[in-house]
Amino acid sequence: MNLKDFKKKLHILSKLPIHPQWYCTLDKTLNEKLANVPENARVLDIGCNDQWPKKKIPTSCDYIGLDYTTTADGWYGNQPSVYGDAHQLPLESNSFDYVFLFDVLEHLENPRQVIAEIFRVLKPNGCLLLEIPYIYPIHDAPRDFSRLTEHGLNNLIQENTNQPATIKAIGSPIQSAALIANISYGLTCVNMLKRFKPLGALMFLFIPLVSLLNNIVSFALSGFNLRERDQNSITPYRYHLEARKDP
98 with 10, same domain: the answer is: no
Residue 32 lies inside a defined structural domain of this protein:
no
Residue 159 C-alpha from the chain's centroid: 23
Residue type, 160: N
Residue 44 C-alpha from the chain's centroid: 16
Per-residue confidence (pLDDT) for residue 2, from 0 to 100 = 41
Residue 219 lies inside a defined structural domain of this protein:
yes
Average pLDDT over all residues of the chain = 89
Where residue 85 sits, what CATH number does that domain have? 3.40.50.150
Decide: pTM greater than 0.85: yes
Per-residue confidence (pLDDT) for residue 225, from 0 to 100 = 60
92 with 131, same domain: the answer is: yes
Per-residue confidence (pLDDT) for residue 93, from 0 to 100 = 98
Residue 30 lies inside a defined structural domain of this protein:
no
Residue 31 lies inside a defined structural domain of this protein:
no
120 with 163, same domain: the answer is: yes
128 with 210, same domain: the answer is: no
Which residue segment(s) compose the domain that 46 sits in? 37-171+231-244
80 with 116, same domain: the answer is: yes
Contact 19, 211 (CB under 8 A): yes
Per-residue confidence (pLDDT) for residue 201, from 0 to 100 = 75
19 with 91, same domain: the answer is: no
Burial classification of residue 212, based on how many CB atoms lie within 10 Å of its CB (0-12 exposed, 13-18 middle, 19 or more buried): middle
pLDDT mean values, one per 10 residues, the chain (247 residues): 50 85 93 96 95 96 92 76 94 98 96 98 98 95 94 96 95 94 91 77 85 94 62 84 97
178 with 137, same domain: the answer is: no
Pairing of strands 42-46, 96-102: parallel
110 with 16, same domain: the answer is: no
> How many domains does one find in the chain?
2
Residue pLDDT, tens place only, 145-191 = 999 999 999 999 999 999 999 999 999 899 999 999 999 998 888 88
Other beta carbons within 10 Å of 51: 16
Residue pLDDT, tens place only, 70-86 = 777 777 778 889 999 99
120 with 193, same domain: the answer is: no
